[in-house]
Chain A
Amino acid sequence: NAGVTQTPKFQVLKTGQSMTLQCAQDMNHEYMSWYRQDPGMGLRLIHYSVGAGITDQGEVPNGYNVSRSTTEDFPLRLLSAAPSQTSVYFCASSQGQRSNQPQHFGDGTRLSIL
C-alpha cells in the first residue's frame, strides 16, 4: 500500500529558485492538504483542497501555490524560494465526506533554502 507519496525527500535550493514538491495518494481521498513543520511550532496549514479543481488557503499560504487537477495529485509550488521557507513539508489526505476519518501523512520533504 503506497498511501501518500511525497517527492523529493530532500532538496537544497538557492534563494530565488522555484521548485515543485510532489504529492500523490492512491486512496481516492477527496481532501488533501500541505503543512509545514518548524521546530517548536507544530504543524501549520499552507493550502488544502476538498476535491479536484478546488483549493483554498490555510494559515500560511504566502509564497506557495497549489493546484488540484486530479484527485490523486496535489503539488505545492514555491515561486521564489526564501530562507524563511526552510522547513519540513508534509502532505496529507483523508476522506472528505465523513468527518470522523483521520488524515494520512506522507514521509515529508526536507527543504533547505540557502
Chain B
Amino acid sequence: GDSVTQMEGPVTLSEEAFLTINCTYTATGYPSLFWYVQYPGEGLQLLLKATKADDKGSNKGFEATYRKETTSFHLEKGSVQVSDSAVYFCALRDTGNQFYFGTGTSLTVIP
C-alpha cells in the first residue's frame, strides 16, 4: 500500500542554521505531495504542496521539490528562526483520493 516515511526527530538547530527534513514515499501513479506544520496546541496547517514531478512548492522560506526518480519530497529552509519551532508532517494524496501522513518531525530552534 501507499505510505510516507519521514526522518525521525526531534531535531534541534541553532537560529539561522540550515534545515532539511527528509521525506520519501511509496505510491503508484502520481500522487500529490504536501508538507504541513503543527504549532503547539494547534491543528495542522498546510505549509506547501507539489502536484507533479519536478514541481517545487515554497512558502515562508521553506521549499520542497517533488522528485519522482527518488520518490522524495524533502523539506528545506536556508535559515531557521525560533518561530519555526513546530512539528512538520509530510503527506501524500494518492490517485484514489486517499491521504497518508508521515509520523511527524519535531523541530526546536534555539536562539
Contacts and interface: CB of A to CB of B under 8 A. Distances in A.
Interface of A: 4, 31, 33, 40-43, 45, 50, 90, 92, 94, 96, 99-108
Given A90-B43, A99-B32, A100-B51, A43 B97 contact: no
Give the contact-size bracket for chain B.
20 to 34
B89 interface: yes
Given A90-B43, A105-B43, A108-B43, A50 B101 contact: no
Interface of B is mostly: strand
Contacts of B94: 99
Interface of B: 31-32, 34, 36, 42-46, 49, 51, 89, 91, 93-95, 97, 99, 101-104
Contact of B45 (A43, A94, A105): A105
